[in-house]
Amino acid sequence: MKKHDNIYANPLNKVADFKFDESVVDVFPDMIQRSVPGYESIIHTIGEVAKTVVTNNSKVYDLGCSLGAASLSVARATQDKQCEIIGVDSSEAMVERCKRVVQAFTLPNPITITKAMAQDIAIENASMVIMNFTLQFIPPADREALLHKIYQGLNPGGILLLSEKIRHPTIAGNELLIDLHHQFKRDNGYSELEVSQKRAALEKVMLTDTFSDHETRLKSAGFDDVVMWFKCYNFTSMVAIKA
């Protein structure tokens, strides 16, 4: 049974910057389901995309793998192909828990979980790279170089599946999307205090871009097309294609 997320349920004298520590890992499945609209659909579709793009004897990288949901979706969807799935996360607590999660499943394609920064991982012979709500936590100054490295490490026909919380380019439009997302969280049982304190915790940690920023940067890295396939409020998922 997944644990209930009540990290921000009580008033805090000082709201510390959000980090993926043991307390977050303990409640992560509940937190993500109640905070990110369409998360289960995104995870399912990652597997559906993998069926199409993952090729035999290639690698799949899941950068910012958290508890391995995307990696497992790929593993289930590619049982008729031979591939290596590499999950990477910078959080020690996430990595240790994720290793136990993936070991509970018997699937033909191995999933290797590694503790590292996405910026430090070599990408090679990749048919698919996944960044599922990861780039937004990487320093903006590092993002362009990371995307260039991913593009170079992808085989022709490979894709980057990138899910992100985005910022609308106008103030009024952005506030509308924020309000709708906060109501989504209230509808899922979060109190006004929890919504407020979580927003404060993320303010300096999760630095979002507009969709146009993402598209421009991906094309600058060399990707031929950027397809937004999912959007709900200020959450989106896109596929960047290497022709």
Sorted by sequence, the CB contacts under 8 Å of residue 54 that are 6+ apart come out as 60, 74, 77, 78, 81, 83, 127, 128
Query: What mean pLDDT do residues 7-28 have?
Result: 95
* pLDDT reported for residue 123: 98
Q: How much is the average pLDDT of 144-148?
A: 98
Residues 231-234: contacts with CB within 8 Å, 24+ apart? 232/37, 232/38, 233/37, 233/177, 233/180, 233/181, 233/184, 234/165, 234/166, 234/167, 234/168, 234/174, 234/177, 234/178, 234/181, 234/208
Q: What is the mean pLDDT of residues 143-155?
A: 98
Residue 209 pLDDT? 97
| Single-letter amino acid code for the residue at 143 | R
Tell me, what's the pLDDT at 44? 98
Gap between the Cα atoms of 59 and 57, Å rounded: 7
User: What mean pLDDT is predicted for residues 38-57?
Assistant: 98
- Average pLDDT (67-87) is 97
Provide the sign of the torsion angle of the four alpha carbons 239, 74, 30, 188, taken in this order: positive
CA dist list (Å): 241 to 166, 196, 201, 203, 237: 20, 37, 34, 31, 13
Residue 1 confidence class, pLDDT cut points 50, 70, 90: low
pLDDT one-digit tens code per residue, 197-219: 999 999 999 999 999 999 999 99
Give yes or no for residue 227 having a pLDDT over 90: yes
Q: Would you place residue 2 in the very low, low, confident or very high pLDDT band (cuts 50, 70, 90)? A: confident
Residue 195 confidence (pLDDT) above 80: yes
- Report the pLDDT value the prediction gives residue 5, as an integer from 0 to 100: 95
Region 14-32 average pLDDT: 95
Rounded mean pLDDT, 103-132: 96
Whole-number mean pLDDT of the chain? 97
Residue 197: its pLDDT value, please?
96
| Residue-wise pLDDT tens digits, 165-177 | 999 999 999 999 9
